[in-house]
Amino acid sequence: METTHVILDPAYHIGAVDPRIFGGFLEHMGRAVYEGVFDPGSAHADENGFRKDVLGALRQLNMTAMRYPGGNFASGYHWMDGIGPKRQRPTVRELAWQSIEPNQFGTDEFMKMASMMDWTPMVTVNLGTGTPEEARNWVEYCNCPVGSRYADLRAENGSKAPYQVKLWGLGNEMDSPWQLGHVPAEQYAILAQQAAKLMKDTDPNIETVACGTCAISLPTYMEWDRTVLEYIGSFADYVSLHRYVGNPKGNTVDYLAVTNSIDQQIEEMDAVCRFVQARSKSKKRHYLCFDEWNVWYRTRSAEHTRGSGKFAPPLIEERYNLEDALVVAGFLNSFIRHADIVKIANIAQIVNVIAPILTRGDDMLLQTIFYPFAMYSSRRDGIALLPSVSGPAYDSPSYGRVSVIDTSAILGDGVLHAFLVNRNIKETAEIEIDHGRGKLVSVISAEAVSGPAPDACNTYENPNVICSQPLQAVKISEGKASIQLPPLSIVAITFRTA
């Protein structure tokens, strides 16, 4: 294959990478909380009932913002059901996923876990069946000093010190017909504005995320976002977007080009934000919070999405393969390339439910998508650079022309992190990285994920088919690097620079 030339000039800045783009999402759904992070009966449980093996694996993912408690679950959740003495917490029928929720894990357990894991908590309030006042009370419970009703309740429940939750979601996917309490854009905008005002009056330091369009296929795409942002103005700081992708036709080459469409979605949403800012002659620019993203297509049917009135039923437990790992890397490349626009992103989700980690009894399995996330998030500090890529490309039937090599880069302090994905199924790719007016001095670390076939995956019996391995095929000469990328691979390299 013809060599791909990548220029990563240190002067071509896109913007500082917000660490919160390496966020996760924990929903009360399926086996994400119960049997996932929280399993008091497990041999791996600590004194809180938290699974040490799962938290240990999550630590390797170096996640930042952690979104909780949903998702669709949030739209029927009453947070006071999940606090106080455990024996007194109600067991309720959960409607979003048709399951049973015993409320043995709630706000205080989540905050304890977030603090142990060094996560930035990101709480989604209920604007489906809840009220602005209930949302505001939750802010008081989490953030206010003792001396008023809900803050005192928190202290009674064990934490005198406020949790200082900075990020609050104003509902979840309220534009979707499947959402509990779904309403038209105008009605949601009024509700979200009322809630945000009360919440910000309770704690002026919080930041809020308005629900944007959750699926580009919905007929209200863009119109919903414009309506909401125009009305809510500075009561929201970010607008959310969601994206789940897949390969239902089994066409790997086409599937791997989906990053074009992720770039496009980000740019279209940003265009709405700028339009609203310009039209309202406001100083306020809304940034993007990509608070659900991943591969999800195999487990969409009712059998995988309806809990049939059970506790912790196995819901949407996708089994990921090599091509999915490349797509996850593609999402991350896209977020880095849009570092000036995307400030928060949360992979959906973290354990068992469309997740990089699976549990089965006391066993745990790291799925293919675990590895790109870990490779990128351990190299996240710095400024995103604008890559110039010239090399082979192809035409994808669904997503148009795309370069065989997908790239992003982060300039750190005396280091350059380069991320490369080879979409070619059969051939090794030759890459030359030119650091423009800078120089590459040496390789600090280099790792790659590749495998025998697009559908190769890890199993409990054979757990290391797809994992990251040190990459030797990187050479430096005269300040430039040449790299050989195996077919269907993800590579992350940290260079020392001068």
By beta-carbon proximity to ligand AHR, the closer residue of 266 and 348 is: 348
Query: What distance in Å separates the CA atoms of residue 108 and residue 154, rounded to the nearest whole number?
Result: 8
Whole-number Cα distances in Å, 279 to 273, 274, 282 = 10, 8, 8
Among 23, 24, 36, 71, the residue binding ligand AHR under the rule CB under 6 A is 71
Whole-number Cα distances in Å, 356 to 38, 64, 121, 317 = 17, 16, 20, 10
Q: CB-based burial of residue 414 (10 Å sphere; 0-12 exposed, 13-18 middle, 19+ buried)?
A: exposed
Q: What angle do CA 102, 242, 244 make, to 5 degrees?
A: 90
Q: Which of residues 268-297 bind ligand AHR (CB under 6 A)?
A: 292
What residues form DSSP beta bridges with 122?
67, 167
Can residue 323 be called a binding residue for ligand AHR (CB under 6 A)? no
In angstroms, what is the minimal distance from the CB of 179 to ligand AHR?
8
Query: What distance in Å separates the CA atoms of residue 181 and residue 245, rounded to the nearest whole number?
Result: 25
Query: What distance in Å separates the CA atoms of residue 491 and residue 406, rounded to the nearest whole number?
Result: 10
Using the rule CB under 6 A, give the single segment among 65-73, 105-113, 130-138, 360-368 that binds ligand AHR: 65-73
Among 14, 22, 23, 27, the residue binding ligand AHR under the rule CB under 6 A is 27
Among 349, 367, 368, 489, the residue binding ligand AHR under the rule CB under 6 A is 349
Annotated catalytic residue: which of 292, 318, 323, 447?
292
Report DSSP state, residue 271. H
Query: What distance in Å separates the CA atoms of residue 337 and residue 340, rounded to the nearest whole number?
Result: 8
- Nearest residue to ligand AHR by CB is 71
CB 241 within 8 A of CB 209: no
Can residue 352 be called a binding residue for ligand AHR (CB under 6 A)? no
Active site residue 292: yes
Using the rule CB under 6 A, give the single segment among 34-42, 64-72, 145-153, 328-336 that binds ligand AHR: 64-72
Q: How far is CA 138 from the centre of its chain?
A: 23
Identity at 80, one-letter amino acid code: M
Q: How many residues bind ligand AHR (CB under 6 A)?
A: 9
Q: CB-based burial of residue 369 (10 Å sphere; 0-12 exposed, 13-18 middle, 19+ buried)?
A: buried
By beta-carbon proximity to ligand AHR, the closer residue of 180 and 471 is: 180
Can residue 173 be called a binding residue for ligand AHR (CB under 6 A)? yes
If DSSP codes are grouped into helix, strand and coil, which group holds residue 303? helix
In angstroms, what is the minimal distance from the CB of 187 to ligand AHR?
19
By beta-carbon proximity to ligand AHR, the closer residue of 29 and 418 is: 29
Task: State the binding string over 105-124 for ligand AHR (x if CB under 6 A, else -).
Answer: --------------------
Query: What distance in Å separates the CA atoms of residue 319 and residue 312, rounded to the nearest whole number?
Result: 18
Can residue 450 be called a binding residue for ligand AHR (CB under 6 A)? no
In angstroms, what is the minimal distance from the CB of 348 to ligand AHR?
4
Among 172, 247, 321, 489, the residue binding ligand AHR under the rule CB under 6 A is 172
Question: Which stretches of the chain bind ligand AHR, using CB under 6 A?
Answer: 27, 70-72, 172-173, 292, 348-349
- Residues that are catalytic: 173, 292
